Amino acid sequence: MGGTTERQSDKATKGQANPRSKLVQGAMLLGLAAVISKLLGTLQKIPLQNVAGDAVFGIYNAVYPLYILILFAATAGFPVAVSKFVAEQVRLGAHREARRIAYVSGVVLMCAGALLFLALYFGAEQIAAWIGIERTASAIRSVSFALLVSPVLAVLRGYFQGYQNMLPTAVSQVAEQFIRVITMVALLLYMTALAYDDARIAAGATFGSVTGAAAGLAVMAVFWRRAMREGQEPGGPAQQEQERKGQSSPAAHTSAWQWAKRIALYAIPVCLGAIVVPLLNLVDTFTLPRLLEASLGSEGEAMRAYGLYNRGLPLVQLVVMVASSMSAALVPAIAEAKVSGRDDRVRSRAEMAVRVAWLVGLGASFGLAFAAVPINIMLYRTEEASWTMAVLAFTALFSTLNAVSASVLQGVGALRTPTLALLVAIALKALGNVLLLPRWGIDGAALSAVVAYAAAAGLNLVQLRRCTGVRFALRPYAISPALGVGLMGGCLAALQLLAMPAAAAWHVPLRWSASAIALISVAGGAAVYGLALLRSGSVSRAELQETPELARKLAPLLNKLKR
């Protein structure tokens, strides 16, 4: 009897541990899927420019931010809202009501998606006129079809997340991006081979968003049918008994209209917060093409210049993704310290998060700027707009600081500041484009982006200092990083000055030599900069102990450097 009781106790303990373990595993799975999806989404722009050229690249980059804004406005908050209300019903055992929430949300979003599709499809010419480039109309119509699919996809993701089942969302995200890239590349090769014009080729590229969304929905449909076929909800092991309990829950008497209202009221504020970042990107869509056409006198030249301007953005996005993920480990620790009332730990962990973002973003920005010419040739075949790419590289620093400081502010409960900071950045970006582009062309637009993100990051850091009392000392933030940047810059300059003439003398193809120099610059520059930081004491062992995961990885190197 005693052994049986112990075994039952063990089973109960394991059962209690399962939800937490499942949540952690789900979060890790979603994080990995997000990284893979972002990587695929960022790198897809390189073959687009290589195959189709800068004009098509410009049209694509003018239209895609508009689609993302509309998609976020229509759907961004609904997966969160659906998952919240579904989770509440699951806890009550009301699985039938959870399904009804999904159905109601699906109907609401399908109607919204259909209306937005009609607005984009039939209003494409007018929107293109607002952008100032008529050739964007075909791409706008092409991408509009995704709005017929994406809303249902968002609802199903929220439904499964409500059951803490993150696998469907993760698989569908990767499938969506993978099919999107395959479609884009296949249509690019096909349409360029048949000598289609730039507007149609750009429309083919944007159509990848439609097939990608359809692939994601197909994956979610498979998971849904499997759950229904097995006769139980995902995550509900005793459905029939729980359903009987759920019939008496108050939600069972909630009408479809009441559910639609509750879900919308919860989702809309989340949507409004989510569209701030796409709005910042959309500023360029509605200002740069028109300003470039007025400056250059030709729509074709304007789109080509806009494509050149966008060359550096995929690299910046990769840097922000990597740097933000490095600091992400500190954000939950900050929230935990805040709840525990440990203000000293909140302060030290917030400072550490900002410093990691600053050091990584600073090194990456200067590294990209120093190696802009070989990287440009490696990725895009020519060195055109290398100076613009070098200027845009510094948005990596301020975008990273902005993203990390915003996350830390959310961890300490200051939710409004990041949104207000980005609204200020939107105004500065628009004003900067109008004032600087006529004078300096796309270099001026790049400078306005740096100023906008720097302002947003600065506002967040000021608020962070007020909320947590963090201090930004001169040595770890300025003196030591300046030494690292100087050493890295000297090494990269020497490499390019010696290697480029040597490769030309040996008749090595330009793109091959530039690729070799770019890759060596990235690896070598990161190594020189990192060693300089560790050797100068920018990051100490005691500070790393705030994040044991980082400390374990860097401890062997710190031992060798005797830090």
Q: What is the mean pLDDT of each run of 10 residues along the chain (563 residues)?
A: 46 44 59 71 81 90 87 76 81 81 88 92 93 90 93 89 82 90 92 91 93 94 83 47 48 70 76 73 90 89 92 83 61 66 78 84 92 93 92 92 82 79 93 94 94 93 87 81 92 92 88 93 91 75 57 59 53
Burial of 54 (0-12, 13-18, 19+ CB in 10 A): buried
**Residue 225 CB neighbours (<10 A):** 10
* Domain ranges, residue 42: 22-232+252-274
What pLDDT sits at residue 485?
93
State both tokens at 182.
């395959």
Q: In this structure, are 366 and 263 located in the same domain?
A: no
Q: In this structure, are 297 and 228 located in the same domain?
A: no
Domain end: 274, 308, 334, which one? 274
Residue 244 lies in a domain: no
Q: Taking a C-beta distance cutoff of 8 angstroms, is the pair 165, 104 a contact?
A: no
Q: Taking a C-beta distance cutoff of 8 angstroms, is the pair 363, 529 a contact?
A: yes
What pLDDT sits at residue 555?
59
HEC-encoded secondary structure of 511-558:
HHHHHHHHHHHHHHHHHHHHHHHHHHCCCCHHHHCCCHHHHHHHHHHH
Nearest CA among 539, 533, 518, 535 for reference residue 46: 518
Which residues, 6+ apart, have CB-to-CB distance to 68 below 8 Å? 278, 281
Residue 154 lies in a domain: yes
Q: In this structure, are 429 and 324 located in the same domain?
A: yes
Residue 113 lies in a domain: yes
Nearest CA among 321, 292, 279, 275 for reference residue 35: 321
Q: What whole-number distance in Å separates Cα of residue 542 and Cα of residue 354?
A: 16
Q: In this structure, are 124 and 261 located in the same domain?
A: yes
Residue 470 lies in a domain: yes
Amino acid at the residue 323: A
Nearest CA among 491, 518, 524 for reference residue 381: 518
Burial of 30 (0-12, 13-18, 19+ CB in 10 A): middle
Q: Taking a C-beta distance cutoff of 8 angstroms, is the pair 173, 79 a contact?
A: no
Question: Residue 402 — φ and ψ, nearest 5°?
Answer: -65, -45
Q: Taking a C-beta distance cutoff of 8 angstroms, is the pair 337, 345 a contact?
A: yes
231 Rama class: left (phi>0) / alpha (psi -120 to 50) / beta: left
- For the chain, how many structural domains are there in total? 2
Q: In this structure, are 65 and 171 located in the same domain?
A: yes
Q: Taking a C-beta distance cutoff of 8 angstroms, is the pair 126, 103 a contact?
A: no
Q: In this structure, are 75 and 191 located in the same domain?
A: yes
Q: With 0.95 as the threshold, say if the pTM is over it.
A: no
State both tokens at 422.
């980005």
pLDDT in tens, 286-299: 999 999 999 888 88
Residue 5 lies in a domain: no
Q: What whole-number distance in Å separates Cα of residue 145 and Cα of residue 166?
A: 27
Q: What whole-number distance in Å separates Cα of residue 239 and Cα of residue 233?
A: 7
Residue 279 lies in a domain: no
Q: What whole-number distance in Å separates Cα of residue 462 and Cα of residue 470?
A: 10
pLDDT in tens, 16-75: 445 545 555 665 666 677 667 777 777 788 888 888 889 999 999 899 888 888 887 777
**Residue 240 CB neighbours (<10 A):** 11
Q: Taking a C-beta distance cutoff of 8 angstroms, is the pair 347, 480 a contact?
A: no
Residue 139 lies in a domain: yes
Q: Check the CA dihedral 115-152-136-446 and report its sign.
A: positive
Q: In this structure, are 195 and 318 located in the same domain?
A: no
Q: Taking a C-beta distance cutoff of 8 angstroms, is the pair 221, 230 a contact?
A: no
Q: In this structure, are 268 and 295 located in the same domain?
A: no
What pLDDT sits at residue 26?
60
HEC-encoded secondary structure of 240-279:
HHHHHHHCCCHHHHCCHHHHHHHHHHHHHHHHHHHCHHHH
Tally of residues, the chain: 563
Q: Taking a C-beta distance cutoff of 8 angstroms, is the pair 165, 233 a contact?
A: no
Q: In this structure, are 384 and 481 located in the same domain?
A: yes
Q: In this structure, are 487 and 368 located in the same domain?
A: yes
Residue 114 lies in a domain: yes
Spell 268-289 as b/e; 16+ CB within 10 A means b.
eebbebbbbbbbbbbbbbbbbb
Q: In this structure, are 314 and 257 located in the same domain?
A: no
**Residue 474 CB neighbours (<10 A):** 8
Q: What whole-number distance in Å separates Cα of residue 110 and Cα of residue 260?
A: 13
Q: Tell me the CA distances in angstroms from 52 to 67, 130, 188, 304, 402, one per residue in order.
A: 21, 25, 7, 11, 33
Q: Check the CA dihedral 117-86-81-417 and report its sign.
A: negative
Q: In this structure, are 520 and 434 located in the same domain?
A: yes
